[in-house]
C-alpha cells in the first residue's frame, strides 16, 4: 500500500475573501437604513430556521442510524424493508415530500388519532392543531434519514472486522461491542459527511417556506412582495444563510481536525 503524503497546510485564501466580503456587506447593511430594516425583519425568522434544522436533523440521525442497523441485520425481511425505505425516500424530491406530509400524511394521522382515541375518551384533534412547522420537521426528518442511513451504514461496515472479533474475544456482548468499539470508530470516519448533511439541511430548511412557515425565506418573500425591494431583500437573505452555513462549516472542520489530532 502506497503511503499517502500528509496534507499540506495552505493559506486559506478563500476564507479571507469570504471574510472581507462578508464584513463589507455587513457594513453596508449596518450603514443603510433600508438594509438595517430588512435585516431586523428577517432576523425574526432565524430562530424558526434553527429550530426546524436542529429538530429535523437530530430526529433524522436517530432514524437513519436505526435504518443503517436494520440494513445490517441478520433478518432478511428487516433488511429488505429498510432498503425499501431508503430507496423510496431518496427518490422523492424534498419539496414534494414536504407537500405530501403537510397535506396528505398529517391529515391522515389526525384522522387516525380521532378514530383510535374516540373509544378511549381522548380529546379530538383538528387539522389546524397540527402546526405546519412540525409537519415540515417531519418531512425533513423522513427525507434526510434515508441519506444519513447510507452514511451510517458505510461507517459501520468500514470498521475492521478484527476489532469486532477482538471485542468478542474479550467477552463483550453485541450491544457492548457496538457502543464501545464499533460506533466510536465509525463516528470518527463519518463525521465529515454528517457535517455536510447538516449544512445541507440548513439550506434545505428554506423549503419549509412553501408551507407558510415563517422562516428566513418566507419572511423575505413577504417583505419583498410588500416593499418591492427584491434585490436588497434577497441579498440579505443570502447573506444570512451564507453566514450560518460557512460558520457551521468552519466549526465542523475545527472539530474534525481536533479529532484527527487525538487519533495521532
* Helix, strand or coil, per DSSP, at residue 115: helix
Q: How confident is the model at residue 5 (pLDDT cuts 50, 70, 90)?
A: low
Nearest to 195 by CA among 140, 153, 251: 251
Q: Are 148 and 90 in contact (CB under 8 A)?
A: no
Write phi, then psi, for 125 (nearest 5 degrees).
-110, 135
* pLDDT tens-digit series, residues 117-145: 655 556 677 777 788 999 999 999 999 99
pLDDT of residue 1: 39
The mean per-residue pLDDT over the stretch 229-235 comes to 90
pLDDT of residue 114: 79
The mean per-residue pLDDT over the stretch 72-86 comes to 94
| Residue 182 CB coordination number (10 Å) | 20
Q: How far apart are CA 45 and CA 47, in angstroms?
A: 5
Q: Which residues are within 8 A (CB) of 193 and not within 5 positions of it... i.e. 6 or more apart?
A: 151
Q: How far apart are CA 63 and CA 57, in angstroms?
A: 10
Q: Is the pTM of this model over 0.85?
A: yes
Domain 24-263: give its CATH code. Answer: 1.10.3720.10
Does residue 60 carry a pLDDT above 90? Answer: yes
* pLDDT tens-digit series, residues 6-17: 556 777 788 888
Q: What percentage of residues in the chain have a pLDDT greater than 90?
A: 50
DSSP 6: P
Query: What are the helix (H) ranges across the chain?
Result: 13-31, 33-42, 46-71, 76-90, 94-100, 106-117, 132-158, 161-169, 174-177, 183-204, 216-227, 230-263
Q: Are 206 and 216 in contact (CB under 8 A)?
A: yes
Q: Which residues are within 8 A (CB) of 102 and not within 5 positions of it... i.e. 6 or more apart?
A: 132, 135, 136, 139, 211
* pLDDT tens-digit series, residues 135-171: 999 999 999 999 999 999 999 998 888 888 888 888 8
Does residue 262 carry a pLDDT above 80? Answer: no
Q: What percentage of residues in the chain have a pLDDT greater than 70?
A: 93
Q: How confident is the model at residue 57 (pLDDT cuts 50, 70, 90)?
A: very high
3-state secondary structure string across 149-170: HHHHHHHHHHCCHHHHHHHHHC
Q: How far apart are CA 182 and CA 261, in angstroms?
A: 20
Mean pLDDT (the chain, rounded): 87
Question: What are the domain boundaries of the chain?
Answer: 24-263
Distance separating the N- and C-terminal Cα atoms of the chain: 20
The mean per-residue pLDDT over the stretch 98-103 comes to 94
Q: How far apart are CA 28 and CA 12, in angstroms?
A: 25
Does 18 or 88 have the greater pLDDT score? 88
Q: How far apart are CA 73 and CA 76, in angstroms?
A: 8
pLDDT of residue 263: 64
The mean per-residue pLDDT over the stretch 205-219 comes to 92
CA angle 202, 251, 47 (to 5 degrees): 40
Grid cell of 190 as nine digits? 463519518
Amino acid at each position: 500500500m502506497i503511503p499517502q503524503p500528509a496534507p499540506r497546510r495552505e493559506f486559506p485564501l478563500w476564507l479571507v475573501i469570504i471574510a472581507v466580503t462578508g464584513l463589507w456587506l455587513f457594513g453596508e447593511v449596518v450603514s443603510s437604513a433600508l438594509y438595517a430594516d430588512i435585516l431586523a425583519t428577517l432576523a425574526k425568522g432565524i430562530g424558526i430556521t434553527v429550530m426546524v434544522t436542529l429538530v429535523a436533523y437530530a430526529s433524522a440521525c436517530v432514524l437513519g442510524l436505526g435504518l443503517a442497523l436494520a440494513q445490517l441485520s441478520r433478518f432478511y425481511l428487516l433488511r429488505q424493508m429498510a432498503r425499501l425505505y431508503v430507496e423510496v425516500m431518496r427518490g422523492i424530491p424534498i419539496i414534494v415530500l414536504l407537500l405530501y406530509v403537510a397535506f396528505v400524511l398529517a391529515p391522515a394521522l389526525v384522522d387516525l388519532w380521532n378514530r383510535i382515541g374516540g373509544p378511549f375518551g381522548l380529546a379530538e384533534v383538528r387539522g389546524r392543531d397540527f402546526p405546519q412547522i412540525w409537519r415540515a420537521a417531519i418531512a425533513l426528518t423522513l427525507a434526510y434519514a434515508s441519506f444519513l442511513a447510507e452514511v451510517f451504514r458505510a461507517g459501520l461496515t468500514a470498521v475492521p472486522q478484527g476489532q469486532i472479533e477482538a471485542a468478542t474475544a474479550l467477552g463483550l456482548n453485541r450491544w457492548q461491542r457496538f457502543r464501545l468499539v464499533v460506533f466510536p470508530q465509525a463516528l470518527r470516519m463519518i463525521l465529515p459527511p454528517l457535517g455536510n448533511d447538516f449544512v445541507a439541511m440548513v439550506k434545505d430548511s428554506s423549503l419549509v417556506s412553501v408551507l407558510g412557515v415563517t422562516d428566513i425565506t418566507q419572511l423575505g418573500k413577504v417583505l419583498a412582495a410588500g416593499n418591492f425591494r427584491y434585490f436588497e431583500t434577497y441579498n440579505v437573505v443570502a447573506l444570512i444563510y451564507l453566514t450560518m452555513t460557512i460558520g457551521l462549516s468552519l466549526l465542523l472542520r475545527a472539530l474534525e481536525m481536533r479529532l484527527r489530532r487525538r487519533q495521532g
